Amino acid sequence: MPKISDERREERRSQIIAAALRRLSNTGYQGTSMADIIAESGLSAGAIYGYFSSKQELILAVATSVVSGRQDEVLAASVDHVLEPAEIVTVLIDGLRENAPVHMLLQVWGEASVDPQLRTLLNEVLESARATITEQLARWALTQPSLAEDASGWAGRAAPVLLALIPGFVTQLSLVDGFDEKRFLQTLPTVLRGSF
């Protein structure tokens, strides 16, 4: 049997992750089984299980893919200028809205609060996001006379606060009738600017 190339293996893995994301978007975490994801992908069960041994492992891959894509967007946005805190949050939120159904995020977060294994896996992903946010905040703090002396320390303390804005946005978008997401994002810079 011929070996599959690394490039083809990565393409197949991405195909499975995309199928899982589509299925989770439609039926949520609890309503999605591995059989559903297999059907969505059009691949055999053996092909799926050759890459992911469980639903939790596949969810971790989906979450990692979603978060790493947002981290790449933050890094790309920061190439030509130092991002202000509100810009960091806006880039992350815009990326989530475009690439991950926000209601699915809320379901996975809820499930992680009662599933220790899923919680552990998601903590790994969130730690990576926190590191990116901390790095960007430290760059910005160096440009602020009142924060420059303790830029790294301040960034470490501020990153969880900024990270908390994202679940707040997702929760309101998913649950609050009439939530004005555009106004939220427009108001964010003035609120954050007044905080620092």
Domain count, the chain: 2
Structural domain ending residue among the three candidates 53, 76, 92: 53
DSSP assigned state of 84:
P
CB 86 within 8 A of CB 188: yes
* Same domain, yes or no: 70 and 145: yes
Q: Which domain holds residue 44?
A: 1-53
CB 155 within 8 A of CB 141: yes
Measured distance CA(20)–CA(120) in Å, rounded: 20
Residue 29 pLDDT level (bands cut at 50, 70, 90): confident
* Same domain, yes or no: 71 and 142: yes
Instruction: Compute the CA torsion angle 16, 66, 99, 195 (nearest 10 deg).
Output: 170
> Which pLDDT value is given to residue 83?
95
Q: What is the mean predicted confidence (pLDDT) over 9-36?
A: 88
* Same domain, yes or no: 33 and 73: no
Q: What is the mean predicted confidence (pLDDT) over 55-74?
A: 86
> Which pLDDT value is given to residue 160?
95
